[in-house]
Structures are given as structure tokens and as C-alpha cells.
A and B are shown apart, each in its own frame.
Chain A
Amino acid sequence: MQPIVQARHLEKHFARFTAVKDVSFTIPRGKCFGFLGPNGAGKTTILRILLGLSPATGGQLTVFDLDIQQQAREIRRRIGVVPQQDNLDPDFTVRENLQIYASYFALPRREIESRIDRLLEFAALSERADAKTEHLSGGMKRRLTIARALINDPELVILDEPTTGLDPQARHVIWAKLSELRDRGTTLVLTTHYMEEAERLCDELVVMDHGLILDQGSPAQLIKRHVEPEVIEISGELPDSSELEQLCRIEHIGRSHYCYAHNPRPLLDHLQNQQDLIFLHRPADLEDVFLKLTGRELRDT
């Protein structure tokens, strides 16, 4: 099947700063494709290029086989967007926000009312249809923004950090809604810095940092490729780490120690004999991959 997005060697420079460097990826139809990266990695910049809202400095990009430079309007007609920051129209109620947004797509007004009812239902906002948007909670605003992104029945929905800043309940509700969408065949593209979100939702992932793609693949492939399958986290003062280093690959952050191994048995036996160490044995996950690829030092510096 034709991929939905094909990007080749995308570059984006802001003055002398390079925000996106030689980025290539292919987004297949009907899948959830994720961009995973720390703050400033270039995720939002890539999404803006995808929408024709930021001209790339170099490279080629087609969306739905259309050229972004020539046919951005046609492309946007078929896409739904959930931006990083909610930008609902504060001059209107919940329902009016959907009506007004529908009018920008020139959707026939008769058809639209029933679709709005369905979307309000989907977003669990039917009760709040006449509320002003400023009176909604963060989770409700996010759900309304997702409903708004679906108003044109898009083939592709782009979500920039859909659950950042939400509480766990709200996050789970949104994850369920997004899975539902994907199961209906809508292609999803999302950015996140939550590993759990990427692991749950994404069929395929790009891990990026400093504008570069570090690796791509399914969550399972990435884990397999970069880290040993078993992790034992130890907290507390290690008496003798050289002995442990015989048994596993070990990384230290402060008083926490992460031991990665293919066979954790000998290590576990060794730890059983130590009295005051607290440890946790778990399978490796994306977070381990992420930290390995992007390093453990703090961002925003």
C-alpha cells in the first residue's frame, strides 16, 4: 500500500541553528507512528513542515502523494491536527468551536450537526456542549481539541504531545480514544516524551534528539536492538560494583544502579545474599532505549 507520508532528507534551519538534520522516514497507512524525543529534539518542527506551516530548508516531502509546497491546502483538507498547546476559540462554546471549525473546511452544514453530536459523544462532552471553553478542565480541553481534529473525517491525525500535562485518568481516556481511532483505520502520527504512551500506542517509532533521527523501528525491535532484555534496578550504596560488572552491564545515576543482562539469574542469586539492598527486576522497556540513545543528562540547559 502507498505510504501516507514520505520524507527524504528534510532539513530545517532557523538562522544559523539547525533544528532538523537530514531526517528521512516513511509513515505507513493505518498505523500509529511516533516521534519520541526530549525537549528541543525537533518534533514540533517536523510536524509543522508536514502541514506546510513551516517551509523546509531542504529535502523532499510528499503527503498523500501530494507535494507539500504545491498542494498544502489539499493536504490539510485531509488531515486533523491536535497542536502541542490547546488553541480552542475562547469566543465560542464547545459546540460552536466544532461548528466554526467545520466551516473552515466548507463542510455542508446539514451533515455537520449530526457529526458534531457524534464527536461530542466520542469526546464525552455532550453534557458540556454549551459550556464556554475557558470553563473546561485540561483533560476536557484536550478531548475537545481531539474532537475538533476529527471534524473533517481525516485520513491522518497529527497529535503533538496529546497527553502532556494531564493527570493519569485523563491520559488513559485519551489513549483509549486514540486506540479506537487507529482500530478504525485512521493513521496517527504523534510526538511524545512519555515512553509508556509510545509503547502502548505506536506501531512504529522514530527516536530523535538534537534534530537527528537516532533510530527507528517498532518498540519491540528498538528494545531488542539497543538493550539487554532484563533489567534489575538497585537502590542504595553498592558495596562492590566490580563483582556486579562481571554479571551485567551496569549504569549509575546517583544512588540508583541499572543492571542490564540477557540472563539475570546469576545476578539475582548474587543479590539475594546482600542484606540491605533494595532491588527490582523488570523487563527492559523503551525508557531504557531512550536513555541509552539520548543520554542521561538533563535537558533545558
Chain B
Amino acid sequence: MNAMNWQLPIIRRSALTIWRRNILVWRKLIGPAIVMNFGEPALYLLGLGFGLGFFIGEMANMPYLTFLASGIIASTAMTTASFEGMYSVYTRMVPQNTYEAILTTPLDIDDILAGEMLWCGTKSVFSGIAILLVAALLGAVHSWHALWAIPVVFLTGLCFAGPAIIMSALSPGYDFFNYYFVLAVTPMFIMCGVFYPISTLPEVMQSIVYLLPLTHAVELTRPLIAGNPVEHPLLHLGVLAGYTLIGYYFAVVLTRKRLIV
């Protein structure tokens, strides 16, 4: 057994070449990408926002459509980064051997994964902008203030990219990712305040839910979209940043273990 290489990763500018590679590929497939980006949130907002909104009216002192849109912006950042960090990263890491080819250049795993994470964040931003546009068209957004949600979406993407890449580094195949979706992504989607305020949950559950990153992403995006002041911004940003750094570190260590043998 090779000893694990626990060395702290070094983030260098060369990470941007990986980000650039991915954006060039994305540009080739821009048609389906845009349909995905607009289609899904539009369905949620139209179906749930208007459908449920009709009965609910207001939630947490804002129109339900605004409440839902701000939650969906955060949760879509999560799912976008998770998909990218699992299916796409795994494809490049294992069946396609793209990383093997890149590792014979001066780049290291540190650079590759930093670039992949930046790309996950970027893709989350694309989807966030699409939802913001749909929400604005439906009248759920009232001020330019809402644009502050975009950097939060970027950070949310980074935050979920790390754990997803860790899954890729550990995964024996695509089916493995179902565990992560069922055990992590879906529960957060349902529990972390996307559809209803967390304060309605029993106290024990609240304290668990507060450990999950999506909760903090929602706590930041919601007031930004609704035009309210953000409470405890440093706490929420700190949690997302903490998950990002720890996720990146373990993603690098585990990918080294898989590829540098």
C-alpha cells in the first residue's frame, strides 16, 4: 500500500487552464445546456410557485414565488456542482483518462481539481443567472440588489464541488453516485429551507440541518433576492468557505491516492 500523500495542495494560476478547457467544451454544447438551465427552474417556479403559491400566498413575509425562487437558486447551485463534480469529473478521471494525459504536463492534481472546482462554481453561476432571469420575468424579484446572490451562488458551487469530486475519487462506477444523491443531495434539497422555513422543523432536526451547507446558502440567497438584510452573513459565508477548503483538500488527497500509484 502506498502511503497517503497528505501534503497541502498549492493553488496556482495553471488551474485556470483546466477551467478554460471545460468552458470551451461547454461552449460546444451550449444549446442543450441552456435548455437545461432555463427549463428546469422555469418548471419549478411556474408549477410550484404559482400552483402552491396560490394556496400559500405569503411565506416568511414574502410572496411564495420569491421565497421559492431564492431557495431554488441555492439548491440548483448545489445540484449543478454535484452533477459536474461527479459524472463529468469521474468521466475525465477514469474512463476517458483525460487527467492521465494532463498529468504528463507540468500540471498536478492540485491544479486540475482547483480548475474543476472553479468550473463547478462557474456552472452554478450560469444556472443561477438563468433562474434569476426567470424569477424576474415572473415578477418575483424587485431590485438589482438581487445580483448579490450571484457571488453566493459561485461560493455555493465551490462548496458542493469538493464533496462531489471526493465521491468521484472513491467511486468504482457511475452507479455509486446514486448513494450520494439519495443520502446527501436529496435530503438537503428537502430539509434545508428551500420550500419552507427551517423554523417549522422540530428543534433536534433544526440543529442537524444547521450543519448542512445548503442551509447556509439558502440563508444568504433568500434575503438577497427578497431585498432584506442578511443575518449573520459571516457565519454563513464562513461555513460555505470552510466546506469548500476542506472539500478541496480531501478531494486532492483522495484523487492522488487513486491516480498517483
Q: Is A73 an interface residue (CB 8 A)?
A: yes
Known: A14-B261, A77-B106, A91-B28. 19 other contacts (CB 8 A): A51-B104, A53-B259, A73-B106, A74-B106, A76-B105, A76-B106, A77-B105, A85-B97, A89-B98, A90-B96, A100-B24, A101-B101, A103-B17, A104-B14, A104-B17, A104-B105, A104-B107, A106-B14, A152-B105
- Residues of A near B28 (CB, < 8 A) are 91
Closest to A104 in B: B105
Most buried by A among B21, B101, B261: B101
- A88's contact among B24, B101, B261, by CB below 8 Å, is which? B101
- Residues of A near B142 (CB, < 8 A) are none
- Residues of A near B25 (CB, < 8 A) are 91-92
Closest to A90 in B: B96
User: Total contacts A to B, CB within 8 angstroms?
Assistant: 63
- Cα A51 to Cα B104 in complex, Å, equals 7
- Residues of B near A246 (CB, < 8 A) are none
Q: How far is the CB of A255 from chain B (nearest CB, A)?
A: 43
Q: Is B138 an interface residue (CB 8 A)?
A: no
Closest to B259 in A: A53
Q: Is B20 an interface residue (CB 8 A)?
A: yes
Q: List 12 A–B pairs whose Cβ atoms lie within 8 Å, in order of A's numbering.
A: A51-B104, A53-B260, A55-B5, A76-B105, A76-B106, A81-B104, A87-B96, A89-B101, A92-B25, A103-B17, A103-B21, A104-B105
B positions within 8 Å CB-CB of A: 1-2, 5, 14, 17, 20-21, 24-25, 28, 96-98, 100-108, 259-261
A104 touches B102 (CB 8 A): yes
B107 touches A55 (CB 8 A): no
A 95-132 to B, binary, CB cutoff 8 A, 1 in contact else 0: 01000110111100000000000000000000000000
Contacts A54-B260, A83-B101, A106-B14 given; indicate if A100 touches B21 (C-beta within 8 A).
Answer: yes
- Residues of A near B20 (CB, < 8 A) are 103
**Dominant SS among interface residues on chain B:** loop
Closest to B260 in A: A53
A87 touches B106 (CB 8 A): no
Closest to A47 in B: B104
- Cα A90 to Cα B5 in complex, Å, equals 30
Q: Is A15 an interface residue (CB 8 A)?
A: yes
B100 touches A101 (CB 8 A): no
- Residues of A near B103 (CB, < 8 A) are 51, 53
Contacts A14-B261, A106-B14, A106-B17 given; indicate if A87 touches B101 (C-beta within 8 A).
Answer: yes
Q: Is A189 an interface residue (CB 8 A)?
A: no
- Cα A106 to Cα B103 in complex, Å, equals 14
B261 touches A54 (CB 8 A): yes
- Cα A90 to Cα B91 in complex, Å, equals 11
